[in-house]
């Protein structure tokens, strides 16, 4: 279950050496919007080979990835959540780990533990499965709040602190969490503080009729049999992530974002409105949407495209309902009314 983190030699500064720090910086600095669009397109097409009829879902996942955010997919079992995470990781030249959360897991099962080494007469840290690039946190609400909280620091800072020692996680790092919104027996709902750290929450949904015929014709495949190849490098993803915050957001669009956020804070039926972290997340996701579309500026349609996946899980009613799916639908309807009441900038 655990994975040992190994020390990595620092990259050489010789610009003639492939993989040197100078060459990496040049690659990052020279990344253009058309190049970023092309790379994102290759990644999208590669995932579409396995994930049929879910182009909108794939787009949201890619927006989350290039925003350097974390993703929560909340849907019924058997709809391809785990397969989607696996295909994303296989499409990028990066490390992938999966944690199947259970009620008896401990934080050390996730982040690692210090073990006494008799030969060194000292404790050495053995990193857990969290030391990866894409982490699939399967059925995250099956484990206890104590274990869930072990993800908080790494999701926020990309670092883990054990026994007073801080260990960095290699970038890019993305938590791809799943949970079942219907079967809540023996589960522990995620606290609001942790929900807020997910950039996007979304659903997979059922495939349409024609696409499901294709899936049935292909038959059931195990993960090891999925022939997805790496088409994008880690460095390319890092370069795109660096480019996203530079996408221009005009002042009227910033006002549009803030007007929506402010309206959620004034809505009496909500327990609390969207936080400042939520408004920053909405702006960042809109910038990523613009970049994925091949633009270096944000338009109101970019905000509308990511609005509901970014904001709905940050809102809840004062009077909670027993049905999670029903409450999510009602929250989205309330958010739609708010958006409809605000004039869209031209």
Given 233, 261, 280, the domain boundary residue is 233
Q: Verify that 261 and 320 share a domain, yes or no.
A: yes
34 — pLDDT class (breaks 50, 70, 90): very high
Pair 146, 107: CB distance under 8 Å:
yes
Query: Is 272 among the domain residues?
Result: yes
In whole angstroms, what is the distance from residue 126 CA to residue 111 CA?
9
Tokens (6 digits) for 100: 């199947």
Q: What is the pLDDT of residue 82?
A: 85
User: Which residue in this structure is represented by tokens 């994008």?
Assistant: 232
User: Are residues 92 and 59 in contact, defined by beta-carbon separation less than 8 angstroms?
Assistant: no
Confidence of residue 29 (pLDDT cuts 50, 70, 90): low
**Domain region containing 161:** 30-233
194 and 158 in one domain? yes
Q: What is the pLDDT of residue 10?
A: 36
For residue 294, which of 38, 28, 64 has the smallest C-alpha distance?
38
Query: Given a cut of 80, is residue 14 above it in pLDDT?
Result: no
Same domain (yes/no): 38, 170 = yes
Q: Do 200 and 140 have their domain in common?
A: yes
Do 136 and 220 reside in the same domain of the chain?
Answer: yes
Most confident of 161-165, 174-178, 213-217: 174-178
Dist CA 15 CA 22 (whole Å): 5
Name the band, by pLDDT with cuts 50, 70 and 90, for residue 114.
confident
* 214 and 327 both lie in a single domain: no
- pLDDT, one tens digit per residue, over 253-282 is 999 999 999 999 998 888 888 999 999 999
Statement to judge: residues 186 and 221 lie in one domain? yes
Q: Are residues 95 and 204 in the same domain?
A: yes
Residue 21 scores a pLDDT above 70: no
Using CA atoms, how far apart are residues 157 and 283, in angstroms rounded to an integer? 19
What CATH number should be reported for the domain holding residue 289? 1.10.8.80
Q: Name the β-bridge partners of 165.
A: 162
pLDDT given for residue 322 in this prediction: 62
- Tell me: do 342 and 274 sit in the same domain: yes
Domain holding 226: CATH number?
3.40.50.300
Residue ending a domain, among 176, 211, 233, is: 233
Per the domain annotation, does 242 fall within a domain? no
* Same domain as 203, residue 145: yes
Point out the least confidently predicted range of 62-66, 105-109, 164-168, 263-267: 164-168
**Sequence-ordered list of residues with C-beta below 8 angstroms from that of 253, at least 6 positions apart, any chain:** 286, 298, 299, 300, 303, 345
Q: Which pLDDT score, from 0 to 100, does residue 13 have?
A: 40
pLDDT 10s digits, 67-83 = 999 999 988 777 888 88
How many domains does one find in the chain? 2
Whether residues 158 and 286 fall in one domain: no
Choose the final residue of a domain: 209, 233, 257: 233
């Amino acid at each position: 279950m655990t994975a040992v983190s190994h020390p990595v030699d620092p990259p050489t500064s010789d610009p003639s050496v492939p993989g040197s720090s100078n060459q990496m910086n040049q690659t990052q600095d020279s990344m253009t919007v058309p190049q970023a669009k092309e790379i994102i397109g290759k990644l999208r097409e590669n995932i579409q080979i396995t994930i049929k009829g879910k182009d909108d879902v794939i787009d949201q996942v890619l927006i989350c990835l290039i925003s350097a955010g974390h993703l929560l997919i909340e849907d019924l079992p058997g709809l391809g959540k785990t397969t989607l995470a696996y295909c994303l990781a296989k499409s990028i030249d990066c490390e992938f780990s999966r944690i199947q959360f259970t009620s008896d897991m401990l934080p050390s099962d996730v982040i690692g533990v210090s073990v006494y080494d008799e030969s060194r007469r000292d404790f050495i840290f053995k990193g857990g499965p969290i030391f990866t690039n894409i982490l699939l946190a399967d059925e995250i609400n099956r484990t206890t709040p104590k274990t869930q909280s072990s993800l908080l620091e790494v999701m926020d800072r990309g670092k883990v602190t054990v026994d007073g020692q801080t260990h960095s996680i290699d970038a890019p790092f993305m938590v791809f969490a799943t949970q079942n919104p219907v079967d809540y027996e023996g589960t522990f709902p995620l606290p609001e503080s942790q929900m807020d750290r997910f950039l996007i929450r979304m659903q997979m949904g059922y495939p349409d009729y024609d696409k499901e015929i294709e899936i049935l014709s292909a038959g059931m495949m195990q993960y090891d049999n999925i022939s997805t190849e790496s088409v994008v490098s880690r460095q390319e993803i890092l370069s795109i992530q660096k480019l996203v915050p530079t996408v221009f957001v005009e002042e009227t669009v910033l006002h549009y974002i803030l007007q929506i956020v402010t309206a959620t804070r004034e809505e009496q039926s909500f327990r609390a409105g969207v936080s400042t972290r939520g408004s920053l997340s909405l702006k960042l996701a809109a910038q990523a949407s613009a970049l994925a579309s091949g633009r270096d500026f944000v338009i109101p349609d970019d905000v509308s495209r990511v609005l509901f996946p970014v904001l709905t899980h940050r809102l809840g009613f004062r009077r909670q309902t027993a049905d999670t799916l029903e409450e999510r639908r009602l929250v989205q309807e309330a958010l739609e009314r708010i958006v409809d009441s605000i004039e869209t900038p031209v």
